[in-house]
Amino acid sequence: MDENSTQIVKRYFKEYYFRFGARIKSPSEIESREFGYLPFAGMMVRHLSFKDIGALHALLLKEAPAGVYCSNSTYEDPTAEMYLKNWKKAALIFDIDADALKQPCKKVHDIWLCKECGRKEFGLRPEFCPSCKSNRLLELSWACPMCLEAAKKETNRLIEFLEFDFGIESSEIKVYFSGNAGYHVSVEKSSFDTLDTRGRAEIADYLTARGLSSKILSSQKFLPTDAGWRRRIAKYIRNLPEIDQSFKSSQYEDRLFELSKFSKKEVETFMNRLIAENSVRIDAMVTTDVHRIFRMPETLNNKTGLVKRECGKELANFDPLREAIAVQDGEQRSRIFVDICPKIELGGESYGPFKSETRDLPLYVGVYIVSKGGGKFLSEQSNVASQNEIVSNRRA
């Protein structure tokens, strides 16, 4: 990001923390947690500790950092080096990223960038840059409402696993929009708090069905009234529609008999399909890492300028691209040179696609595009905004 753009984004962040910083609530046992922040220039600052949330608010006003993080773990000494902190416990956390769900719309809104010649194009990353043949290509993924809806569906499935299989009370499960392209789920208090990395890997594997033995299928020892993955498999087989090509019969028992006649290859194919449709695609790294500092709720995501926001009880009614906008003042506008940007939706309006053009856009849209690496600010508070552009881009 160029210096001018950085300054404008930083001012936007500062305004947010000035006006809405009080929304950032203290985590439980704040004195035992490690905090960190990422400045707009420089390296991540970690191993900080605050006695109360007021001290953090003050820091945010002073620094207006690009990212603010807090450990999901508690430590005896959160400011010590990692190996001297003395880990106590950690909330169970999950990260669901729309990008990992590989939705078909990715090829419409993703962008690749050649690190060698600078070429940028819409679409999935090719193996080599068509211009300079370099293979040093970066992917810039953007999330559209469809991707975010898929992530929401995945989040609902995760919650079902947490409640039904792991017996976690729904009041302990908090769901947040990450501020970028997915959802964070945190289990505040549970018997899993003291699990180490290895134990958490087992939880992650359970959700992603990694290591699920195909012997379960051949043993046929499962019923819809069973427990765990056996129950899921049984229900899946029973509920497959009649027209499904995997089975000739529509009756559960007959389908089990057919299954016993499947070849090894057929079992494998069926297993892969069953896992794809029933598992939860979480980022296992996040769940298993007990020394992570995690983006704090109600702080801004530097990849978008959107807020990491709690979704409330009704996840279905939460619209991240409307409800997570940090500062939405119609008056605040900006002129930006858009290098490349797919069609995006924010605050109920749609913008783009743009390529190598100058645009006057609401400031929060400008912050979004620039933070995504799609362009640079020419000026803030431009007065030459052509309302026609917005109107022409308005959703039908």
Partner 1 sequence: MEFGSDDLAKYPFLPDVGEFVKEMEISVSALSSSDYDKVVRRAEERVVEAIQKREVSYPISDRQPKTEDEKVRLGLRPMVGGAQIEMLSFPISLALVKATKLDHLANIYSLAEAKRAVKLLQSSQSSRYADHELGTVLTIFRRVFGIRVETFKVEHRDDYFTVPVADYVKRASKFHKEEWKLVNKPVTRGKVILDRQDLVRLVGDEIEAMIGQRLKLMPSGTKLPDNLQEIVKKIVRMAPPEPQSPYTIIHIAPENYPPCVRRAIDLLDKGENVPHYGRFLMATYLLSVGKSVDDIVSMFPKAPDFKQNVTKYQVEHLAGLRGSKTRYRVPSCRTLQTHQFCFMDPVKCHQITSPLQYPSRKNSGSTQESLGKNSRPGEAKSNASESRKRSKRDWMKIQHR
Restricting to residues 123-152, name those near partner 1 by CB under 8 A.
134-138
Q: Which one, 11 or 291, has the nearer CB to partner 1?
A: 291
Q: Which one, 115 or 273, has the nearer CB to partner 1?
A: 115
Sign of CA dihedral 169, 172, 178, 179: positive
Rounded-to-integer distance, Cα 320 and Cα 386, Å: 27
Q: Are 240 and 246 in contact (CB under 8 A)?
A: yes
Residue bearing tokens 């020419």: 378
SS3 243: coil
Rounded-to-integer distance, Cα 369 and Cα 305, Å: 9
From 20, 87, 122, 192, residue interacting with partner 1 (rule: CB under 8 A): 192
Task: At 154, list the tokens.
Answer: 């995945």
Q: Which of the residues 95, 110, 339, 360 is marked catalytic?
A: 95
Minimum Å gap between C-beta 100 and partner 1 is 10
Q: Which one, 84 or 117, has the nearer CB to partner 1?
A: 84
Phi, psi of 125 (to 5 degrees): -60, 125
Restricting to residues 294-353, name those near partner 1 by CB under 8 A.
none
Q: What is the DSSP letter of 50?
A: -
Q: Is 97 among the catalytic positions? A: yes
Cα–Cα nearest to 298, from 193, 187, 173, 174: 174
Should residue 276 be labelled a site residue for partner 1 when binding is judged by CB under 8 A? no
Stretch of residues binding partner 1 (CB under 8 A), selected from 50-58, 187-195, 323-331, 386-394: 187-195
From 90, 150, 185, 204, residue interacting with partner 1 (rule: CB under 8 A): 204
Minimum Å gap between C-beta 229 and partner 1 is 6
Should residue 25 be labelled a site residue for partner 1 when binding is judged by CB under 8 A? no
Q: Are 142 and 342 in contact (CB under 8 A)?
A: yes
Rounded-to-integer distance, Cα 292 and Cα 289, Å: 6
Residue bearing tokens 């956390």: 93
Should residue 164 be labelled a site residue for partner 1 when binding is judged by CB under 8 A? yes
From 3, 29, 196, 266, residue interacting with partner 1 (rule: CB under 8 A): 196
SS3 24: coil
Should residue 201 be labelled a site residue for partner 1 when binding is judged by CB under 8 A? yes
From 52, 77, 202, 244, residue interacting with partner 1 (rule: CB under 8 A): 202
Q: Which of the residues 99, 193, 205, 283 is marked catalytic?
A: 283
From 38, 187, 284, 365, residue interacting with partner 1 (rule: CB under 8 A): 284
Q: Are 122 and 353 in contact (CB under 8 A)?
A: yes
Task: At 137, list the tokens.
Answer: 């290509």
For residue 146, give the H/E element and its range: helix 145-160
Minimum Å gap between C-beta 379 and partner 1 is 31
Rounded-to-integer distance, Cα 361 and Cα 380, Å: 10
From 28, 86, 131, 213, residue interacting with partner 1 (rule: CB under 8 A): 213
Minimum Å gap between C-beta 105 and partner 1 is 22
Q: How many residues bind partner 1 (CB under 8 A)?
A: 44
Should residue 194 be labelled a site residue for partner 1 when binding is judged by CB under 8 A? yes
Should residue 209 be labelled a site residue for partner 1 when binding is judged by CB under 8 A? yes
Should residue 268 be labelled a site residue for partner 1 when binding is judged by CB under 8 A? no
Q: Is 95 among the catalytic positions? A: yes
49 class by beta-carbon count within 10 Å (0-12 exposed, 13-18 middle, 19+ buried): middle
Residue span 77-106 as binding mask against partner 1, x where in contact by CB under 8 A, dash where not: ----xxxx----------------------
SS3 193: coil
Minimum Å gap between C-beta 120 and partner 1 is 15
Cα–Cα nearest to 66, from 305, 376, 302, 303: 302
Q: Is 329 among the catalytic positions? A: no
Q: Which one, 212 or 240, has the nearer CB to partner 1?
A: 212
Q: Which one, 56 or 195, has the nearer CB to partner 1?
A: 195
Question: In whole angstroms, what separates CA 153 from the centre of its chain?
Answer: 13
Q: Which one, 144 or 212, has the nearer CB to partner 1?
A: 212
Residue 297's alpha-carbon distances to 28, 158, 306, 311, in angstroms, are 13, 20, 11, 10
Residues with catalytic roles: 95, 97, 283
Binding site residues, partner 1, CB under 8 A: 81-84, 115, 134-138, 164-168, 190-192, 194-196, 198-199, 201-206, 209-213, 216, 226-231, 284-285, 288
